[in-house]
C-alpha cells in the first residue's frame, strides 16, 4: 500500500508535496495488528498485562513522495486485553510556539510526553 502511494506521489512531482503516514490493519478476531510507517513519528504500544510501554520503531520508512528507492516493510504485533496504541500527529512536532521563551515547542512537549510514557505510562492502567 505505502509503496503504491509513494509511486503515485512521485508521478505527481509537480504537486511538490510529501506526506508522512502510519497505516494499520487490525484483525478484530485475533487482535493482530499489521502496520507500516512512512516517515511518521513512531507509535507507542502500552501493554496492560505486562505493564510495559514500547515505542514501535519497526517498519519505519521514508516519508512518501521523497524517493523512488524507499522501502516500506510491515511490522506485526498482537494486542492483548486492555492494550492501547498511542499515536501523535507529525503536526505536533512541526508546530512552534510564538516565542521560545513563552512556551516550549511542540517537539519539546512531545519528547517530554514520550519520556513520561516510556518510564511510567504503564502504571496508569496496570491491573490492580
pLDDT at 8 over 80: yes
List the one residue out of 86, 84, 88, 106 whose CA is nearest residue 97.
106
Q: Does the pLDDT of residue 104 top 60, yes or no?
A: no
C-alpha dist (Å) from residue 104 to 8, 61, 83: 37, 28, 30
Cell triple for residue 78? 498482537
Q: Which domains does the chain have, with CATH numbers?
A: 2-87 (3.60.40.10)
Q: 73: Cβ–Cβ under 8 A, 6 or more apart, which residues?
A: 36, 58, 59, 61
* Residue 30 pLDDT: 95
pLDDT computed for residue 44 by the predictor: 82
The stretch 33-50 carries a mean pLDDT of 87
- Is this model's pTM higher than 0.85 or not? no
The mean pLDDT of 109-113, rounded to a whole number, is: 65
* SS3 category, 10: helix
Tell whether the model's pLDDT for residue 119 goes beyond 80: no
At 72, list the grid cell: 516500506
Amino acid at each position: 500500500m505505502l509503496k503504491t502511494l509513494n509511486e503515485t506521489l512521485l508521478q505527481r512531482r509537480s504537486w511538490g508535496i510529501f506526506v508522512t503516514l502510519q497505516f494499520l490493519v487490525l484483525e478484530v478476531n485475533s487482535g493482530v495488528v499489521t502496520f507500516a510507517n512512512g516517515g511518521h513519528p513512531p507509535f507507542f504500544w502500552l501493554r496492560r498485562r505486562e505493564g510495559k510501554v514500547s515505542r514501535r520503531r519497526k517498519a519505519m520508512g521514508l516519508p512518501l513522495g521523497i524517493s523512488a528507492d524507499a522501502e516500506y516493510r510491515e511490522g506485526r504485533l498482537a494486542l492483548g486485553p486492555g492494550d492501547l496504541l498511542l499515536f501523535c500527529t507529525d503536526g505536533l512536532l512541526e508546530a512552534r510556539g510564538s516565542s521560545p521563551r513563552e512556551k516550549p515547542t511542540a517537539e519539546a512537549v512531545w519528547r517530554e510526553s514520550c519520556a513520561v510514557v516510556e518510564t511510567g505510562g504503564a502504571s496508569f492502567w496496570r491491573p490492580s
